[in-house]
Structure 1
Amino acid sequence: MMATHTHSGQSAKQEWATGLTVFAAVMLFLVGVLDVLRGIMALAKDDVFVSTPDYVFQFDLTGWGWIHLVLGALAVLVSAGLLKTATWARVTGVAIAGLVIIANFLSLPYYPVWSVIMIAISGFIIWALCVVRHGGNL
């Protein structure tokens, strides 16, 4: 009877681990697509963004557009690896989500509400990828 309970506990943990990995993959995909679109917006029509003249980390909006475009494209690619539960994708996913947080923090004055939302979502992605141990267990 005890062995059945342990097996059931392991199965529930495995289901949670799988669910968190899928959650992270889907959210990273969405963050990637949204970052690609944000990059395209900055490249195509940079008057959509607020201009802050005395910002310490001021870049040309075209520069921010390329940064977001590249990070978004990488996030979309890594999300596909997460769906295949590849270890490299978990590590890279944490790194990409971290870079998305940094990029959105640095571009906060240009699009503040959206940057805060992207930072929060990326934080959840990092949490979901880090809470699952190697082998898919919690």
Structure 2
Amino acid sequence: MTATPTPQRDSTAKYAWAEGLVTFGAVMLLVAGLLSIFRGIMGIANDDVFYVTRDYVFHFDLTGWGWIHLILGAIAVIISVGLFQGAAWARVLGVVVAVLIIITHFMALPYSPVWSFVVIAVSVLIIWALCLGRPEETSTR
């Protein structure tokens, strides 16, 4: 006896899959935001923990980088709370903040290359999850 998929069961499965992706994106954005806050605090309190390179095109004061990461991390945490509540605005802003996180970590590559690559990869997963999972579309079918 093989169960044939019904349209309602198929729609429910799609909704669960999309909701799971958005939840994954929210969790990853929350983690990226918290880590960015901690990185910002490190840069503001003691910028000697970062390796300083000379002759880098995007040379900024590391305390300034700390403030950028702190503010961006706080915004990411707020947006992730909106994602957990299912707000549509949070999905759009989540993608925007993930892109900004990618840009800031690309510009900070010389200061912590391995960590920047990891955060860039996680941010790409956040963008993928928030763009692919669309629970509001599958619930109307």
What is the letter of the counterpart of residue 78 of structure 2?
Answer: L
Aligned length: 137
How far, CA to CA, are the matches of 2:28 and 2:38 in structure 1? Answer: 15
> CA–CA distance in 1 between the matches of 2:57 and 2:44?
21
1:43 corresponding residue in structure 2? 44
- Cross-structure match for 2:74: 73
Q: Report the CA distance between 1:25 and its aligned residue.
A: 0.6
1:32–1:74 CA contact under 8 A, matched in 2: yes
Q: Distance in 1 between matches of 2:64 and 2:70?
A: 10
CA, structure 1 residues 39+136, in 2 after alignment: closer, same or farther (shift >3 Å)?
A: farther
Please tell me the residue identity of whatever aligns with 1:107. Answer: A
Report the TM-score, using the length of structure 1 for normalisation: 0.94
Separation of aligned partners in 1, 2:96 and 2:24 = 17
Matched with 2:126 is: 125
1:54-77 per-residue CA deviation (whole Å, 9 max, x = no partner) reads 100010001100000000000000
CA RMSD across the alignment: 1.8
Contact 2:98–2:127 (Cα < 8 Å) also in 1: yes
Structure 1 gap segments, 5+ residues each: none
- Cα distance between partner residues in 1 of 2:113 and 2:34: 19
Instruction: State the percentage of identical aligned residues.
Output: 55
Distance 2:29 2:72 in 1: 11
State whether residues 105 and 119 of structure 2, in contact with CA within 8 Å, keep that contact through their aligned partners in structure 1: yes
Quote the Cα distance in structure 1 between the aligned partners of 2:65 and 2:58. Answer: 11
Say if 2:13 is the partner of 1:6: no
Q: Structure 2: any 5+ residue segments left out of the alignment?
A: none
Q: Distance in 2 between matches of 1:68 and 1:136?
A: 34
CA distance in 1, matches of 2:99, 2:117: 14
Q: CA deviation at 1:136?
A: 4.8
CA contact (8 A) 1:18 1:136 kept: no
TM-score (norm 2): 0.92
Distance of 1:53 and 1:44 partners within structure 2:
22
Between the aligned partners of 1:59 and 1:135, the Cα distance in structure 2 is: 42
Please report how far the alpha carbon of residue 86 of structure 1 lies from its aligned counterpart in structure 2 after TM superposition. 0.6
**Distance across 2 between alignment mates of 1:73 and 1:25:** 14
